[in-house]
Amino acid sequence: MIVIKKNYKYPWFKPFVDKSIKSKIGKIFDKNLNTMGLKTKELENKLKKYLNVKHVILTTSGTSALFMASMVYDLKPGDVIITQNLTWIATINPFLIRNCKIVLADTIHKQENVNYDSLNKLIKKHKPKIVILVHMNGQAVYNKNFNKLRAKMNFKVIEDTAQSFGIKGDKKNFAGTNYDIGCFSFSISKLINMVYGGFCVTNNNKLARKLIAIRNNGVNSNPENALLELPTEIGLNLKPSDLHSCFGIENFKNKHKIFNNAKKIYKKYEQKLKNPKLELVKINLKNSIPVYVQVLVKNKKKFYNFCNKHSIQIHFGTRTLDNVIKKFRKEMLNNSIYLSKYLVRLPCGPNYSLYDLENIIKILNRY
Ligand SMILES: Cc1ncc(COP(=O)(O)O)c(C=O)c1O
């Protein structure tokens, strides 16, 4: 049996915390604008400029952003949505709620990125209404043949960029800004966090107006309608608070420092982790910024117990969706199922000191 231990000397993730935040938070209470006030607008504007997109719609989480994206489309039960098998369940939950048919593509060998051979074949076969591309762990995934299929078949593309804010890959534009809607997470276990938060981006004015309304129980973004509280869509209360936006602004200001730390942490593991039982999942630092440092380990339970004994917390990483949607032929999803079985996240996160990591790695090398 796995024993849950509460206080670890080495938690699995140390988020960035700006020490000056305490003094700044007090000031927003003075303004009496705690839900979607000036700080939220300020953060939306900063993100718009940085990502070079027309619209940023801030919300309460990456899950909320995906939910909002799902609500802008006229989906019917049975409409096909294709995404990759290895992703967090939040990618598909909004579409399961709408009774859509989820089709899953495999990932590439020992990598979390989608296998485009598998994805493009499934697109041709199932003619999806929407494809959700997932940019996992600070890596952007794009493909020319996919773009050709999109031009021909006219499906919508949502980019789940929850784990990949600030990544360009080999593209000119940032991941999450290349198709219809991009969804991002600024949760506590991401490089840039606002404790809880996320946002949608789009360059399409009509979609942006819908997203803004959906965030506010469907009440239209036009001020005159908002005053009358007339809903034009079905939505929920998904408005972020200025308190969270305040955290987001401070973290965003430190993005370059945070990104550099994340790269240094990965490099430290790459240089010092010399245990053949722990196979590092490779990231190309030229194009990517890893949020998580992950290894493949044959006996997760045994490794978990070893780490527990040394007060090291590990995380079992992203699991595959075929566990939830059971009607798939497993042999088509071999690579992602393999990852789901053996992948573990090691202690990481932008607030870790390299000194602590060296100590952790010394212990891990003895496993
Ligand atoms: C791939 C992916 N999509 C969506 C989400 C949901 O984001 P949030 O936790 O902010 O709701 C996550 C969260 O980790 C994620 O990893």
Task: Judge if 197 and 212 occupy the same domain.
Answer: yes
Nearest one of 49, 68, 29, 57 to 242, comparing CA atoms: 29
Residue 14 inside a domain? The answer is no
Task: Judge if 238 and 350 occupy the same domain.
Answer: no
What is the Å distance from ligand 1's center to 275 Cα? 30
Helix (H, G, I), strand (E, B) or coil at 226: helix
The CATH number of whichever domain residue 225 belongs to comes to: 3.40.640.10
Q: What is the mean pLDDT of residues 324-349?
A: 88
Task: Judge if 226 and 278 occupy the same domain.
Answer: no
Q: What pLDDT is stored for residue 28 in this prediction?
A: 67
Residue type, 192: I
Task: Judge if 310 and 328 occupy the same domain.
Answer: yes
Ligand 1: residue of 66, 67, 88, 139 to mutate (most ligand atoms within 8 A of CB) is 88
Task: Judge if 264 and 299 occupy the same domain.
Answer: yes
Task: Judge if 236 and 274 occupy the same domain.
Answer: no
| Span 211-257, pLDDT tens digits | 999 999 999 766 556 667 788 889 999 999 988 999 999 999 999 99
What is the Å distance from ligand 1's center to 27 Cα? 30
Q: In total, how many domains does the chain have?
A: 2
Q: How many CB atoms lie within 10 A of CB 273?
A: 19
Residue 147 belongs to domain spanning:
21-253
Average pLDDT, the chain: 93
Q: What is the mean pLDDT of residues 362-366?
A: 98
Band the pLDDT of 1: cuts 50, 70, 90: very low
Q: Which atom of ligand 1 is nearest to the CA of 189?
A: 14
| pTM metric for this prediction | 0.96
Task: Judge if 223 and 313 occupy the same domain.
Answer: no
Work out whether the CA dihedral 345, 135, 237, 235 comes out positive or negative.
negative
Nearest one of 159, 158, 156, 103 to 136, comparing CA atoms: 159
Of 94 and 170, the structure prediction assigns the larger pLDDT to 94
Task: Judge if 247 and 263 occupy the same domain.
Answer: no
Q: What pLDDT is stored for residue 27 in this prediction?
A: 73
Residue 263 inside a domain? The answer is yes
- Contact between 85 and 336 (Cβ < 8 Å): yes
Give percent of the chain above pLDDT 70.
94
Task: Judge if 207 and 343 occupy the same domain.
Answer: no
Task: Judge if 206 and 325 occupy the same domain.
Answer: no
How is the chain split among helix, strand and coil, in percent rounded to 5? 40, 15, 45
By CB atoms closer than 10 A (0-12, 13-18, 19+), residue 157 is middle
The terminus-to-terminus CA distance of the chain in angstroms comes to 19
Q: What is the mean pLDDT of residues 194-198?
A: 97
Q: What is the mean pLDDT of residues 13-24?
A: 86
The CATH number of whichever domain residue 304 belongs to comes to: 3.90.1150.10
